[in-house]
Amino acid sequence: MCEKADWDSAVEYGKFLKEARENVELMKARFNDLMLNETEQGILGSIQTEIRILVIGTDRCNDTAGNLPVLARMASFAPKIKLRMLDSDKNASLHQQYKVNGKRKTPVVLFMSEENEELCRWVERPNAAYKLVNEAATPSLAGRRKSLKSLYSDPEILRQSLGEFMNLLVRADYVLGRA
**Mean pLDDT, to the nearest integer, of 124-147?**
72
What is the C-alpha to C-alpha distance for residues 166 and 103, in angstroms, rounded to an integer?
A: 26
Enclosing domain of residue 52: 4-175
- Summary mean pLDDT of the chain: 91
**Mean pLDDT, to the nearest integer, of 140-153?**
74
Q: How many domains does the chain have?
A: 1
First to last CA, the chain: 27
Quick one: pLDDT band at residue 138, thresholds 50, 70, 90? Answer: low
What is the reported pTM? 0.92
Sheet order of strands, 51-57 included: 81-87, 51-57, 108-112, 118-123
Quick one: pLDDT band at residue 141, thresholds 50, 70, 90? Answer: low
| CATH value at residue 54 | 3.40.30.10
